[in-house]
Amino acid sequence: MALSAVLRPGHVCLRVLDLDAAIVHYRDRLGLQETDRDEQGRVYFKGWDEQDWFSVVLREADSPGMDYLGFRVLNEDHLARYEEALRAFGCQVERIPAGELRHCGERVRFDSPTGHWFELYASKDCKGNGLGRLNPNPWPEGLKGMQPSRFDHCLIYGDDLDGTVRLFREVLAFDLTEQIMEGDLMVGAFLTCSNKAHDIAIIRHPEKGRFHHASFLLGTWEEVLRAADLISMHDISLDIGPTRHGITRGRTIYFFDPSGNRNEVFCGDYTWYPDHQPITWTTDQLGRAIFFHDRKLNENFLSVVT
257 in Cβ contact with 60 (< 8 Å)? no
One of 69, 86, 104, 180 touching another protein (CB under 8 A): 180
Beta strand residue intervals within 141-174, DSSP E: 150-158
Closer CB to another protein, residue 22 or residue 108?
Answer: 22
Catalytic residue among 121, 157, 213, 223: 213
Residues 8-67 that bind another protein (CB under 8 A): 17-18, 62-65
Which span sits near another protein by CB under 8 A: 74-82, 110-118, 180-188, 245-253?
Answer: 180-188
CA dihedral 203, 268, 133, 47 (to 10 degrees): 50
Q: What's the closest the beta carbon of residue 146 comes to another protein, in angstroms?
A: 18
Closer CB to another protein, residue 50 or residue 239?
Answer: 239
Q: Does 3 bind another protein (CB under 8 A)?
A: no
Q: Is 106 a catalytic residue?
A: no
Catalytic residue among 50, 178, 223, 264: 264
Q: Is 212 a catalytic residue?
A: no
Q: CA dist 64 to 6, 184, 210, 258, Å?
A: 27, 34, 10, 10
Q: Does 280 bind another protein (CB under 8 A)?
A: no
Closer CB to another protein, residue 171 or residue 180?
Answer: 180
Q: Is 245 a catalytic residue?
A: yes
Reduce the DSSP state of residue 215 to 3 states and report it.
strand
Q: Does 163 bind another protein (CB under 8 A)?
A: no
One of 53, 256, 272, 291 touching another protein (CB under 8 A): 256
Beta strand residue intervals within the chain, DSSP E: 6-16, 33-37, 43-46, 56-60, 65-73, 93-96, 107-111, 117-121, 150-158, 175-182, 185-192, 200-204, 210-217, 238-244, 251-256, 262-267, 279-282
Q: Does 286 bind another protein (CB under 8 A)?
A: yes
Q: Does 109 bind another protein (CB under 8 A)?
A: no
Q: How far is residue 84 CA from its own chain's centroid? A: 25
Q: Which of 44, 71, 31 has the alpha carbon at shortest distance from 255? A: 31
- The sheet with strand 175-182 has its strands ordered as 238-244, 251-256, 262-267, 210-217, 150-158, 200-204, 185-192, 175-182, 279-282
Closer CB to another protein, residue 62 or residue 275?
Answer: 62
Q: What's the closest the beta carbon of residue 270 comes to another protein, in angstroms?
A: 23
Q: How many residues bind another protein (CB under 8 A)?
A: 35
217 in Cβ contact with 264 (< 8 Å)? no
Contact set with another protein (CB under 8 A): 17-18, 62-65, 157, 180, 182, 187-188, 203-207, 237, 239, 256-262, 283, 286, 297, 299-300, 302-306
Which sequence positions are flagged as catalytic? 153, 198, 213, 245, 254, 264
